[in-house]
Structure 1
Amino acid sequence: MASIPLSMSVVDGLKNRIRLIYDERKSSHLSEALAAALGFNTNAALRAELENQGSDPLYRLLDEVRFDTRMQELGYPPDPEFMFEDAQIPEMLLTTCPRAHEIEYESVRKKAWRNLIVCAVNEGLRLKIFSLRPGDNRWPGYDPRGSNVYLFDFILPCNLPARVAVHDAGYDELSIHVAVNPKGDWVKASDAGFSAGDVFGTTWLERRNGAWIQSSESSFSCRRHLLSKLSNMQVAPAGYGDRGWVIM
């Protein structure tokens, strides 16, 4: 899977590349299928959102299944082999780590960790504290020569307060720690555990070879009564992959 920034020029550029692959398909149908791939019901809805994004758009995942399903609804045969990477454009990010398919979030604990981390990364992107582009760190006081830690707070979809600590880990990665019902600034510590709050989880956000979180729930601490609240949250990553191996 790949992602692109929600920009009019980028979407149009991607569509032009797709037309080279499907030169027999109607342009309007490709527009509708591309809108579906980006999570919109119609091309008109996509265009309206593109207008709202402005000059610094967020990234959105491209879903091949939704694209192909919409194409079939419009009367075309299925093409399960199609990948958006085949229509590569400069602005496109790869979001699938090699062997990502081997990572599964099957247990309640793993789902809780995944959901917590995705919520934290999504919020950092929404607030534009950082982006998915390599080295694009925007928090106040960021100094590429140093390694300051930036804290921000937000409310999870399950209405629990969370605190995030983010800092540049080098090699275009971000180190991200999250605490729920946080206690002071303990979330900054890599091994804070319950000292940071009732829940504590960490990850690294890869941004050089693509954009994905590195799956590392080994340091995850969670009070038992909060596991179901976190694991039941419905949250999708905002333009990056939610499976990746830890880079040592």
Structure 2
Amino acid sequence: MVKQFKRRWQLGRVRPGDGSALAEYRLWQLFARSLFFIQLPDPVGDSHAFAVDVRYVADAKTRSQHENGVGKSPVALYRDGVQVYRANLPATFPVPGGVIEVATSAFGLKRMHFVSDDGREHALHPHRRSQEGLRARFGRRFPRTSAVVGVVSVVILLAALAVSLLQGAEAISKIPAVAANFGVFTSPIHLPTWAKITMGAAGALAAVERALRLRYNRLIDVVS
């Protein structure tokens, strides 16, 4: 029920596109733009190329302009190279046979999926020169190394989560009312400043690596 309400709300925020052509992906846009594609048939069986263009540098002014029908949108949907819809993030676009759901975290994309009317879903294909496309090519060329990198990312995030939970529990236990009833909990792990900085940086890199593969879990990616 909540998921359906959220989808209807996001569909209601979608605005008509301006009919502009899909811009070419440039190398200098590597950290500012993501571009994904999918082929979908329309009701009469004709296939169309859909593209989702995400612009990360859209600021509050840009989003405000979008709501008033002007300015560049944080995310736009193109059909056969022509902009048909645009929206703020997170977004849900109507397409033949279902919807395309787009969402981001602090470290990149966490969702770029086509969800069919019967509930099946799969990720869109990234532009080969985008961050996500380069990561996908690395995975295809070096599958074993890619798998190891993925496992390391999960381990780093789990370790960072465990340390955060222990420190949080210790801080809460020091509240007078809590301490009086349950005592004070002392975390078994106390990291020096350099280790905290290192773990924070490693956690950010791990979160980025997972975002490039459209991997997101509410538990281990809580930092994003």
TM-score in terms of structure 2 length: 0.31
Structure ID, larger Rg = 2
Q: Which structure exhibits the higher relative contact order, with contacts defined as CA atoms closer than 8 Å and separated by 6 or more residues? A: 1
| Structure with the higher fraction of residues in helix conformation | 2
Choose between structure 1 and 2: higher strand proportion: 2
